[in-house]
Structure 1
Amino acid sequence: MQLAIVPCIFIIVGVIILLKERRSFFGGMSFAFGGLFLTLILLMMGLIKLGEISATSSTLVILIVYALFPLIFLGICAFFIFNTHTMQTKEGRSVTAKLSALLGVNLLITIPLFFYLLSVGTHHISVWLFSFLMFVLLSDLLFSFLFTCYLFYSWMYQMIPSKKKVDYIITLGSGIRSEEVPPLLKSRLDKAIEYYHKNPNAKIVVSGGQGADEPVSEAFAMKKYLLSQQIPEAQILVEDQSTTTFENMTFSKKIIFDDWKIKDHTPTVLFSTNNYHVLRGALYARKAHLKAEGIGAPTALYFLPTALIREYIALLTQYKWFTVSMILICLISVIWSVLPI
C-alpha cells in the first residue's frame, strides 16, 4: 500500500490546482498521472490477491497476465498501425498521417525491448550501453504513458458542459480550399450554432485569417456559412487576421471587449473547435488572459488518433519546461539505479 502514496500525492496536488484553475496543464496532467498510476497499482494488487486465493484463481491470473494483456496490447498497436492506412485513404498521404503508425510500431518495439533489457541486465552488454538504452526506452515509455494521461485530462475537461448564459461564441478556423467550409470546420460552426440557439442574444465570433494557399480568409468562409444557416449578420463578428490558435484567442478577445457594452460586467465566452483541440484551445485562451471555456464538435474516429498525437506533440513543444523535466527524471532514474555512484 505504501506504493499507492505517490499517486495519491499527485492526485491531491492536481485537484488543488484544478479547483483554482481547470485550464492548468500541470494540474490536469498531475491529476491524470496520479489517477492512472493508482489504477495500475490497484490492478496489480488485485491480481496478486486473486492469485493467492486458489489454484483456479492463479490460473486465471496467469491467463490475464500472459494472454489477455498481450492481446489487448497487440490490438492497440494494430489499431494505430492500420489507422494510418485509413487516414491516407481518406485524407491523402502526409507526414502527419503516419503519426498513428509510428506510435503503434514504437510501442510494439519499445515495451518488449524494455522488459527484455530488464531481464538480461548487464550480462551481455556494457553498463554504459545498457544505461543509454534504458534511458532512451524509459523516456519513450514515460512520454507514451503521459500521452495516455493527456487523453484522460482532455476527456475529463470536456465532461463538464457549460450551462451558463453565453454572450460570445468564438469559432476557431481551420484550413479551407474554397469559399465553402470543409466538414471539419462545418462541425465547429454547427456546434457554435447549437449553442447560439440556446443563447439567441449571443454573438458568434468567426476567427481565422487567410493562409498563403487559401482563396479567402477562414473567417469569410465561416461567415458565409453562418448566413446560409439563417444566423443574422448583426450577430456575427469577424476576426480575419489570426494565423495561430493563440492569435485566435488574442484577436478575438480584443474584438469582444471592443463590442461589449456592459463595462462593469465581464462577458461569458465560449469557443467552439473540434473535440481533440478543446484542451489546447483552453490553454491558449488562458495564455491570452481570456476567460473562455471550450465546446468540442465531434470528429471522425479515423481522424482522432493522428489529431490527438499532433496535439500532444504541440503541447510538449509549448511546455518545454515540462518536457525537459520528464527527460531529466528519466536520466536521474537511470543514473541512480544502474550506474555505480
Structure 2
Amino acid sequence: MQLVFVPIIFIIIGILILLKERRSFVGGMIFAFGGLFLTLTLLLLGLLKLGEISSNSSTLVIVIVYALFPLLFLGVCVFFVINTHTMQTKEGRSVTAKLSALVGINLLIAVPAFFYLLSVGASKIPMWLFSILIFALLSDLLFSFLFTCYLFYSWMYQMIPIKKKVDYIITLGSGIRSEEVPPLLKSRLDKAIEYYYKNPHAKIVVSGGQGVDEPVSEAFAMKKYLLSQQIPNNQILVEDRSTTTLKNMTFSKKIIFEDWKNTDYEPTILFSTNNYHVLRGALYARKAHLKAEGIGAPTALYFLPTALIREYIALLTQYKWFTSSMILFCLLFVIWSLLPIQSQNYEQLLYLIN
C-alpha cells in the first residue's frame, strides 16, 4: 500500500500549483501523472488481491493480464494506424496525417521490445548496447505515458464550466482558402456565437492575419460569416495582423483594452478555438499576460487523434526544459538501475516479469 502514497503526493503538488495558476502546464501534467499513476497502482493492487482470493479469481486475473490487456493494447495501436488511412482519405496525404500511424506502430514495437529486453537482461546483449536500448525505450514509453497525461489534463481543463458574465470573446483564426470559412473555423465561430447569445453585450474579436496562400485575412472571412449570422457590426472587433496563436493573444489583448472603457474592473475574456487546441491556447494567453479562459468547439472524431498528437509535440517543443528534464530522468534512472548495488533488485524484477 505504500505505493499509493507516491501518486497521491504528485496529485497534491499538482493541485497546489493549479490552485495558484490554472493554466500551468507543469502543474496540470503533475496532477494528471499522479491521477493516472494512482489509477494504475490501484488496478495492480486490485488484481493482486483478487488473485489471492481463490483459484477461480486467479484464473480471472490471468485472463485479464494475458488476454484482455494485450487485446486492448493491440486495439489502440490498430485504431491509430486505421485513423491515418481515414485522415488521408478525407484530408489528403501529408506528414501530419501519418502521425497517428507512427504512434500506433511505435507503441506496437516499443512496448514488447522493452519487456523483452528486461526479460533477457544484459547476459545475452553487450552492456553498452543494452543500456542504450533500455534508455531509448524507457524514454519512448515515458513520453507515450505523458501523452496520456496531456489528454487527461486537456480534458479536465475544459470540463470546468464558465458561468460568469463575459465581455469579450476572441475567436482564433485558422487557414482559409477563400472568403468563406471552412468547417474547422466555422465551428470556432459558432461556439463564439453561442456564448455571445448568452452575453448580448459582449464583443467578438476575430483574430487572424493573411497568410501567403490566403486570398484575404482570416479576420475578414470570420467577420463576413458573423455578419451573415446577424451579429451586429458594432459588436465585432477585427485583429488582422497575427500569424501565430501567441500573436493572436497579444494583438487581441491590445485591441480589447483600447476598446474597454470601464476602469472599475477588468473585462472578462474568453477565447474560442477547437477543443484540441484549448489547452495550448490557454498557455499562450498566459504567456501574453492575458487573463482569458478557453472554450472548445467540437472537432470531427477522425481529425481529433492527429490534432492532439500535433498539439502534444508542439507543447514538448515549446517547453524544451520539461522535455529535457524527462530525458535526463530516464538517463539517470537507467544509470542507477544498472549499478552493481542494484543487481539484486534487477534480478527480482526479472523474476516477477518471467
Question: Which amino acid counterpart does residue 194 of structure 1 have in structure 2?
Answer: E
CA-to-aligned-CA distance 1:69-99 (integer Å, 9 cap, x gap): 0000000000000000000000000000000
Question: What pairs with 1:1-341 in structure 2 (closer than 5 Å)?
Answer: 1-340=1-340
- Provide the identity percentage: 84
Contact kept? 1:127, 1:339, Cα under 8 Å: no
Mean CA deviation greater in 4-13 or 70-79: 4-13
Question: Which amino acid counterpart does residue 200 of structure 2 have in structure 1?
Answer: P
CA-to-aligned-CA distance 1:230-270 (integer Å, 9 cap, x gap): 00000000000000000000000000000000023100000
Question: Which amino acid counterpart does residue 132 of structure 1 have in structure 2?
Answer: I
CA-to-aligned-CA distance 1:115-157 (integer Å, 9 cap, x gap): 0000000111111100000000000000000000000000000
Aligned alpha-carbon RMSD (Å): 0.7
Following the alignment from structure 1 to structure 2, what is the Cα–Cα distance between the partners of residues 72 and 302? 20
Contact kept? 1:11, 1:32, Cα under 8 Å: yes
> What is the SS of the residue equivalent to 2:123?
coil
TM-score calculated relative to the size of structure 2: 0.96
Following the alignment from structure 1 to structure 2, what is the Cα–Cα distance between the partners of residues 308 and 338? 35
Runs in 1 of length 4+ with deviation above 6 angstroms? Answer: none
Query: Unaligned 5+ residue runs, structure 1?
Result: none
Following the alignment from structure 1 to structure 2, what is the Cα–Cα distance between the partners of residues 271 and 319? 22
Question: Which amino acid counterpart does residue 225 of structure 1 have in structure 2?
Answer: Y
Following the alignment from structure 1 to structure 2, what is the Cα–Cα distance between the partners of residues 6 and 207? 44
CA-to-aligned-CA distance 1:291-319 (integer Å, 9 cap, x gap): 00000000000000000000000000000
How much has 1:322 moved relative to structure 2? 0.4
Following the alignment from structure 2 to structure 1, what is the Cα–Cα distance between the partners of residues 29 and 99? 22
Following the alignment from structure 1 to structure 2, what is the Cα–Cα distance between the partners of residues 322 and 4? 25
How much has 1:339 moved relative to structure 2? 4.5
Following the alignment from structure 1 to structure 2, what is the Cα–Cα distance between the partners of residues 163 and 198? 10
How much has 1:224 moved relative to structure 2? 0.2
How much has 1:3 moved relative to structure 2? 1.5
> What is the SS of the residue equivalent to 2:58?
helix
